[in-house]
Amino acid sequence: MSTESQTFTEKYDLLGCIQCGRCTGGCPVTVRADLNVRRFVYDAYHEEKLEELARLAEIWDCTACHTCAVRCPKGLKPLEVLLGLRTMIIESGKVEPTVRDALQSVLLEGNPWEKSRAARSDWMEGLDVKIAEPGVPVENLFFVCCTIAYDPRVQSVAKNIVGLLNKAGIDYAFLDESETCCGSEVFTLGEEGLFEMLVEDNTELLNEYTAKRIVCLSPHCFTTYKTRYPDLKAEVIHYTQLLEELLREGKLVWKGDLQKKIVFHDPCYLGKQGDVYDEPRALLKSIPGVNLVEFERRRERSLCCEGGGGKMWVESESKKERLAETRIKDAKALEADIVAVACPFCVLTLEDAMKGLGYEEEMRVAEIMELLGEFVEA
């Protein structure tokens, strides 16, 4: 977080850049858009050029996958230069209506999907869910995520984990409708002021619960809480980390088997940004019958699905093949039956691509929690 007095150059440490080109060399978006992040880092040094740079359409092509940050030998985050330019546009107010409505919805209703706050816990209906109470100690405090809470396609992630937690008998609790957007996409859309407000409000809310760990269902919330909320008292983990722990402790029991070839797609926010690679694989491998195969581009080199960086609300001008389509074609070449992911955005983008390519009959995109819900004894 910057102070107002910092210049753009200071804020993003532009003078630290040695123009080695590793950022652009790894950027997955360059195959379908005219985005050259290295050029932006170079040009942004000239403060008088900033307004002109901010008006370039390609600043909205970045998916905030963080490949450039992972590859930068100087430890810079080139993508954040683009986010800084987005901030200039956001603060002028003249943004795409879809972006405007998503951000306004976060402010008014605590989620970017223009859904009523009162409906946030509707997914819990009919389930035996333990609700957190301020001041009452809880080992694992769950943070659901706006997309999982409201989108019927991915609600099963939350529903299935409740059944599993009750079965495993561990100490857990969920927040009620007071749960508010973590701001992951608010940050990447460049709404710095709103993000600062969310950090302040969510830190206060989450610290009221005496939780040992905050378990996030979405990698976007996970990475955001882990890296951008300095004053959270609890440790932040992703649900695959908790389940892998339960697996090692023998608390997950499988029913039947799954004779399928599965390929795991590393979500950028879980892997590149959260450094969680092995746990989701361990969970998949443990399901009897599963043949886990790997993409050639995996782990730190995983291909982004283009769901992050606020891209759910910004359509690229490029008509070239979507990265999600490339990914599905790669899975097809591997003859995978299931593309397993651990992120709600990856489910939505990859499934769209799969349907668009007409592979619905022979392939399935599934969140790990969907599969576990089907095969874990609950």
Partner 1 sequence: MKMFVCIKYVPDTSEAEVKVNPDGVTVDSARFSFDINDADNYAVEESVLIKEAKEGDITVVSIGPKQSDVMIRMAMAKGCDQAVRIEDDRIATHDPLMVAKVLAGAIKGQEFDLVLTGCMASDDGHMSTGVALAEELGVSHASMVKKVELLDGKVRAHRELEGGLLEVVELELPAVLTIQTGINEPRYAPIRGIRLAQKKELKVVNLDELGVDPAVVGLDASKVVLEQLYIPEVESSAEFIEGEAEEKAEKLASILVKGGLV
**356's tokens:** 């668009």
Q: Which is nearer to partner 1, 97 or 230 (CB)?
A: 97
Site for partner 1 in 101-140 (CB under 8 A): 103-104, 107-109, 114-119
Beta-strand relationship, 211-216 and 235-238: parallel
- The partner residues of 365 in beta bridges, in order of sequence, read 339
Nearest distance from C-beta of residue 142 to partner 1, angstroms: 23
Please choose, out of 6-14, 52-60, 94-102, 286-294, the segment that lies near partner 1 by the rule CB under 8 A: 94-102
- b/e sequence 35-61, b meaning 16+ C-beta within 10 Å: bbbbebbebbbeeeebeebbeeebbbb
Q: Which is nearer to partner 1, 197 or 334 (CB)?
A: 197
Count how many residues are written for the chain.
Answer: 378
Q: By CB under 8 A, is residue 88 in contact with partner 1? A: no
CA distances to 229, 242, 252, 281, 370 from 249, in Å: 30, 11, 8, 17, 21
Q: Which is nearer to partner 1, 91 or 330 (CB)?
A: 91
Q: Which is nearer to partner 1, 117 or 130 (CB)?
A: 117
Q: Which is nearer to partner 1, 196 or 330 (CB)?
A: 196
**196's tokens:** 């600062």
Nearest distance from C-beta of residue 48 to partner 1, angstroms: 22
**161's tokens:** 């984990």
Q: Which is nearer to partner 1, 50 or 378 (CB)?
A: 50
**15's tokens:** 């003078």
Would residue 6 be called left, alpha or beta, if left means φ above 0 and alpha means ψ between -120 and 50 degrees? beta
Nearest distance from C-beta of residue 149 to partner 1, angstroms: 13
Nearest distance from C-beta of residue 147 to partner 1, angstroms: 16
**Which one of residues 17, 53, 99, 341 is an interface residue with partner 1 (CB under 8 A)?**
99
Q: By CB under 8 A, is residue 11 in contact with partner 1? A: no
Helix (H), strand (E) at residue 340: strand 338-341
Q: Which is nearer to partner 1, 145 or 198 (CB)?
A: 198
Nearest distance from C-beta of residue 39 to partner 1, angstroms: 27
Is 118 in a helix, a strand, or coil?
A: helix
Q: By CB under 8 A, is residue 50 in contact with partner 1? A: no
Site for partner 1 in 182-241 (CB under 8 A): 191-194, 196-197
Q: By CB under 8 A, is residue 297 in contact with partner 1? A: no
Residue 40, C-beta contacts closer than 8 angstroms, at least 6 positions apart: 53, 59, 78, 81, 82, 85
* Separation CA 319–CA 136 (nearest Å): 52
| Residues engaged in binding partner 1 (CB under 8 A) | 90-95, 97, 99-100, 103-104, 107-109, 114-119, 191-194, 196-197
